[in-house]
Structure 1
């Protein structure tokens, strides 16, 4: 398992704890530290984990609005904690990470769903991210990644 994949898994665990406990962003460092210590993950990229975790939380409203556009039958508040945080992470990276190719962010989301989600998570996450990719990246570049007016 790659360093970045482990870092994303730890980010997911930290986001899960934050979302489950309905805490404010001030608890994120505690959850990250707890997970790093609990799982003994010395090969994780702490800077990347901090960036991704805090960026997802900071952009949660816009990310959730985007998720709702692609999951009309399942509003974000009805999604499992794992699925919604995987979608938040993957969508954030797809639109905002110059160093991570869009397809890599999509594939990482699907892999996390396979590893940590329920029996239908992989298919669900793949469908949502695949549709989003087709709309925003396959034939054109999106000028404003979290613009909800499209």
Structure 2
């Protein structure tokens, strides 16, 4: 009889029971990403469209037609997407005029992604008063993190944080009084 082999067939280790799903966590304990809202998706598609406008110089109608055919567009808030795409393009000069004083470099040196994100932020500050300024700021930071350069979100944060008191003065002031804004 050999000492290294048992006389009985090898037993398999008992299989582990399936892990219980904990709300907000994956099976490995990592926090699940929150499902994106239809407005967040609209901002993503608008940013991609604004990039096409800036880099490819494509007109809004052809960009719009192309973007609506992309996978996942049906999950986006189409009305918000329309407002952002067409509004940012139509008001690009006015949006640049309010953004430019807050920049530490020439606009041409800003990446098209960060430029587009700043357009979206400035446009929403001006026209989407149903969206709190802090939500606009956070959404734009997340866009810059997802699509922009390594630290582009920090630059976008600084610029839009500087712009908010100008375009949403009463709302920012009220948040400072309640301690919600720094």
The TM-score with structure 1 as length reference comes to 0.83
SS in 1 for 2:95: helix
1:80 corresponds, among 76, 101, 111, to 111
Task: Please tell me whether residue 102 in structure 1 is matched to residue 133 in structure 2.
Answer: yes
Alignment of 1:1-150 (within 5 A): 1-23=36-58, 27-71=59-103, 73-136=104-167, 137=169, 138-139=172-173
Higher gyration radius (CA): 2
Partner Cα distance (1:41, 1:96) in 2: 23
Q: Pick 1 or 2: higher relative contact order, CA cutoff 8 A, min separation 6.
A: 1
More helix by share: 1
Query: Which sections of structure 2, spanning at least 5 residues, go unmatched?
Result: 1-35, 175-182
**Contact 1:10–1:32 at 8 Å: present in 2 too?**
no
Contact 1:86 1:113 in 2 (8 A): yes
8 Å contact kept, 2:38–2:77:
yes
- RMSD of aligned alpha carbons: 1.6
Assess, with a 3 A threshold, how the Cα gap between structure 1 residues 18 and 135 changes in structure 2: closer, same or farther.
closer
Distance of aligned partners of 1:135 and 1:51 in 2 relative to their CA distance in 1, 3 Å threshold: closer
Q: Using structure 2 for the length normalisation, give the TM-score.
A: 0.69
